[in-house]
Amino acid sequence: MQTSETGSILVVDDQEDILSSASLLFKGEGIRCSTCSDPSQVLSLLNKNDFDLVLLDMNYQGNTTSGKEGLELIDAVIASGCNTPVVVMTAFASMELAVEAIKRGAKDFITKPWDIDRLLSIVRNQFELHKALRRERKLRVENKYLRDENRVNLCYQSEIMADLVHTFEQIAPSDARLLLTGENGTGKSLLAQYCHQLSSRSSGPFISVNMGAVPESLFESELFGHEKGAFTDAKSTRIGRYELADGGTLFMDEIGNISEKHQSTLLRLLESGEYERVGSSKTRKADVRIICATNADLPSLVTAGKFREDLYYRINTIPLTIPPLRERRDDILPLANLFLEKYCAKYQKEITGIGENAKKQLLAYCWPGNVRELDHVLERAVLLCSKIELDEKALLLTSQTSHSVDIEEMTLEQAEKSLLQKAYKKYEQNPNLAAQSLGISRSAFYRKLNKHGILNASP
């Protein structure tokens, strides 16, 4: 006799001797058994209890052998959405009734008097199936929750970002390789996730690896995995990032920072799609879409011989540049409000909004760290703010306005554009003074404004 319960069952029959026999049988097998003689109470019992199986009779009125009541009860149990499997039993067996019961949703059929071995076999099989299905449903719910939690919702209002997002939406369904370029903190990783989310691979994994942070000695192990004993610290077999991304997307950030040796390794992978784990001679393949990102000037690195030209063309099927935050100022306040809401919830602060002076500071600042810096500034501000409205003091940006940005960190194009923007804003009503402050002619001033898209005008 078993002593531990292996499952729970609800037996429904109008004959007390059947219910008593079932109760004794299942108790002896370690199965928790509840009984019911009134079919009208079945749904109520299913709502209040978590049964692994319902074993129900097909006939409840004297001299009735049609099975109509049982079929209607099967319909009611299935319609309730409780997901509890149903096995039917009757003393008046007929193949037609059995087939109809299965069509209505019953999982199996047994006649009375029971063959005990067959009954117990059916019950145990249904228990295992029900538990497996319950685990599967739980995993589906958890995965959906995780996908929803990790789902990228972009926040933007600027025209330049709207155009960029539209481009992502056009190319995402393809498997074309993308190269995302732009300054640190502009959101390259977020946009890579967004592209994966829109693709046919969205149900597959999104695996991210910072190529610049991978130690030289562990590059192949990190990317391709290794077998147990492949090297001193390889105490177990490990699956690499490329294999983990099978059926999904591999995002390789900071691609410009890998060594020449590993550039060759990566090139072979992209050319053939084949790889071997470290310590193994078995060639493997995986179905992976590649998205790369860098803040480096790869064409310059190619010219300088520091980045392989053939690898550059392999990863550069579709190049996309993510603009810095200072070039999409219409996004600053929407993003700031998003971060405000996020950190108020995290730190349980009741801040109703951002004050006008604080908004002016946010818009005036140059944001060398881009969206990532804005995120950090708002988190700090929420922690420091003791008022109902976020003020400029909490931002701590007073001494960090746009003129304090290190010009050495800018490209020549960025520096020129920044100076033009400042002059245009300062002398908006007097272009002669603006041009004079920059040491150029009025016509040259307008040409440069047009060149950088600051103003479409003519002198």
Domain ranges of the chain: 7-142, 159-321, 325-404, 409-451
pLDDT on residue 157: 93
Instruction: State residue 183 phi and psi, 5-degree precision.
Output: -65, 165
**CATH code 1.10.8.60 for 325-404:** yes
Please answer whether residues 82 and 50 qualify as being in contact, where contact means their C-beta atoms are separated by less than 8 angstroms.
Answer: no
pLDDT-based confidence at residue 3 (cuts at 50, 70, 90): very low
CA distance 96 to 290: 56
Mean pLDDT of 125-135: 83
How far is it, in rounded angstroms, from Cα 137 to Cα 435? 68
Residue 355 has pLDDT above 90, yes or no: yes
Task: Please tell me what DSSP assigns to residue 278.
Answer: B
What is the token pair recorded at 166?
Answer: 């539209």
pLDDT grade for 191, boundaries at 50, 70 and 90:
very high
pLDDT in tens, 197-220: 999 998 899 999 998 888 888 888
DSSP string covering 286-307, please? ---EEEEEESS-HHHHHHTTSS
Only one residue has tokens 């077998």, namely 227
Do the Cβ atoms of 295 and 182 come closer than 8 Å? yes
The predicted model gives 181-207 an average pLDDT of 92
Task: Express as a percent the part of the chain with pLDDT over 70.
Answer: 88
* Contacts of residue 182, Cβ cutoff 8 Å, sequence gap at least 6: 188, 293, 295, 321, 322, 323, 324
Q: pLDDT tens-digit profile of 19-59?
A: 999 999 999 889 999 999 888 899 888 877 878 899 998 88
β 108-111/53-57 pair status:
unpaired
Quote the pLDDT of residue 66. 76
Q: What Cα–Cα distance (Å) separates residue 283 from each residue in 148, 238, 277, 286, 331?
A: 36, 16, 8, 10, 47
Q: What is the pLDDT of residue 143?
A: 56
pLDDT tens, 402-434?
444 455 556 677 777 778 877 777 666 567 777
Percent of the chain residues past pLDDT 90, beyond the cut: 41
pLDDT greater than 70 at residue 62: no
Dihedrals phi, psi of 66, to nearest 5 degrees? -75, -25
Separation of alpha carbons 429 and 446, rounded Å: 14
**Paired sense of beta strands 353-354 and 389-390, if any:** parallel
- The model's pLDDT over 248-307, given as tens digits with 9 standing for 90+, comes to 999 999 999 898 889 999 999 998 888 888 888 888 889 999 999 999 899 999 999 999
Model pLDDT, residue 421: 78
The CATH class of the 159-321 domain is: alpha beta
Look at residue 93 in the predicted model and tell me its pLDDT: 58
Choosing among 1.20.58.220, 1.10.3720.10, 3.40.50.2300, 3.40.50.720, the CATH entry for 7-142 is 3.40.50.2300
Query: Which helix (H) or strand (E) segment is 283 a member of?
Result: none
- pLDDT tens digits, one per residue of 375-400: 999 999 999 988 899 998 899 885 44
pLDDT at 281: 81
Asked if pLDDT for residue 182 goes beyond 80, the answer is: yes
Assess whether the region 159-321 and the region 409-451 belong to the same CATH fold.
no
What residue spans of 187-297 are helical by DSSP H?
A: 188-198, 219-224, 241-244, 260-272
Rounded mean pLDDT of 132-147? 60
Interatomic CA distance for residues 235 and 214, integer angstroms = 19
Q: How is residue 248 written in tokens?
A: 């999904």
Q: What CATH topology corresponds to 409-451?
A: Arc Repressor Mutant, subunit A (1.10.10)
3-state DSSP assignment of residue 112: coil
